[in-house]
């Protein structure tokens, strides 16, 4: 992030916070992948980024070029000091030349900045807090310029994140079964493995830790023998009324393809149970669009299988 230069002066630490309507895994990618960074990083309104390369490892380099609306070009270099995906990112920020050599900053600008970004997810949204060390040593006018620059850049990040493919599915079904039994079908891995997934799928791995913060790990196997791994975390458990979890469809290497936030409610109807599934998903990889297209059909078939299982009891 760059700003007009002013005379240095002491001030409080520079901190800015923003909440994004996107899962943390996607927001972290937007901070660490060049294809996202070129759309927003260090770009107040009207600026562009014609060059961006990222070597995402401790000691690795972020090298970028920002072209301002007046035609001036600014090169910058970041050196990663800490990477805790997808929770925290710390790097040193410098002015540089086109070859990546660190150069003297304009008069009044910080020679070295330490940028710390933390990412906290709640209910499918992500709060990003940025601390920009070094700015506090500059004049108030310059600090305001940095704040405006960050604000405009984060606005552009929000626009970039909004382009990610997303889908929401709401399904309601009334089962001729008591609520306790329906709850058990969702929270006992032996029962869950019998119905989870579309028609014809099996679940050779179905492991769940039913507690807030507990993990879930399910590997669905299609009729053709292809495995579809999924990980997740339980966010809220109110037995036997409400179940909230975040799930991640993964590729074979464990990389997330999409993130889904799901809220399940169980309503007692005097011996019967009304189940409501509210699932919202956001793609974090190009192939996610294919998964999202089949999302409603997948959930519907899963609930159909659950209904058949409950009818046996």
Chunk the chain into consecutive blocks of 10 residues (it has 313) and report each block's average pLDDT, rounded to whole numbers: 38 84 89 92 83 96 93 94 96 95 86 94 90 84 84 92 90 97 97 96 97 95 95 94 93 85 96 96 83 91 97 86
- Please tell us whether the domain made up of 15-162 is placed in CATH 3.30.530.20: yes
Q: Quick one: pLDDT at residue 145?
A: 81
User: In terms of Cα–Cα distance, which of 161, 186, 181 is closest to 262?
Assistant: 186
At residue 54, φ and ψ (nearest 5 deg) are -130, 125
Phi-psi region of 254 (alpha: psi -120 to 50; beta: other; left: phi over 0): left
DSSP helix/strand/coil, 181: helix
Q: Quick one: pLDDT at residue 3?
A: 41
User: In terms of Cα–Cα distance, which of 170, 168, 191, 172 is closest to 275?
Assistant: 172
DSSP helix/strand/coil, 193: helix
List all residues 6 or more positions away from 129 whose beta carbon is below 8 Å from its beta carbon: 15, 16, 17, 117, 118, 120
| Residue ranges of the chain assigned to CATH 3.30.530.20 | 15-162, 166-311
Q: Which CATH number fits domain 166-311: 3.10.450.50, 2.60.40.10, 3.40.50.970, 3.30.530.20?
A: 3.30.530.20
Q: Quick one: pLDDT at residue 92?
A: 96
Where do we find the tokens 């304009």? 106
Q: Quick one: pLDDT at residue 7?
A: 35
């Amino acid at each position: 992030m760059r700003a007009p230069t002013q005379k240095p002066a002491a001030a409080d630490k520079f901190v800015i916070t923003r909440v994004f309507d996107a899962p943390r895994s996607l927001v972290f990618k937007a901070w660490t992948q060049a294809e996202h960074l070129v759309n927003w990083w260090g770009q107040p309104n009207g600026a562009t980024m014609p060059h961006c390369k990222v070597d995402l490892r401790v000691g690795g380099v972020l090298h970028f070029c920002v072209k301002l609306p007046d035609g001036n070009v600014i090169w910058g270099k970041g050196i990663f000091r800490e990477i805790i995906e997808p929770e925290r990112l710390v790097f040193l920020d410098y002015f540089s030349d086109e070859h990546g050599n660190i150069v003297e900053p304009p008069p009044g600008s910080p020679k070295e900045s330490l940028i710390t970004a933390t990412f906290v997810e709640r209910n499918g949204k992500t709060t990003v807090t940025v601390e920009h060390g070094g700015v506090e040593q500059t004049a108030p006018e310059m600090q305001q310029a940095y704040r405006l620059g960050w604000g405009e850049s984060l606005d552009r990040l929000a626009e970039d994140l909004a382009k990610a493919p997303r889908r929401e599915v709401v399904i309601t079904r009334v089962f001729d079964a008591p609520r306790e039994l329906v709850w058990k079908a969702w929270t006992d891995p032996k029962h869950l493995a019998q119905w989870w997934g579309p028609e014809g799928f099996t679940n050779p791995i179905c492991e769940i830790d039913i507690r807030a913060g507990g993990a879930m790990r399910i590997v669905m196997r299609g009729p053709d023998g292809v495995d579809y791994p999924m990980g997740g975390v339980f966010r809220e458990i109110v037995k036997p009324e409400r179940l909230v979890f975040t799930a991640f469809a993964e590729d074979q290497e464990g990389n997330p393809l999409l993130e889904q936030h799901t809220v399940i409610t169980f309503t007692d109807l005097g011996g019967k149970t009304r189940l409501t599934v509210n699932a919202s998903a956001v793609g974090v990889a190009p192939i996610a669009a294919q998964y999202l297209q089949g999302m409603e059909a997948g959930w519907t078939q899963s609930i159909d299988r659950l209904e058949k299982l409950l009818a046996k009891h």
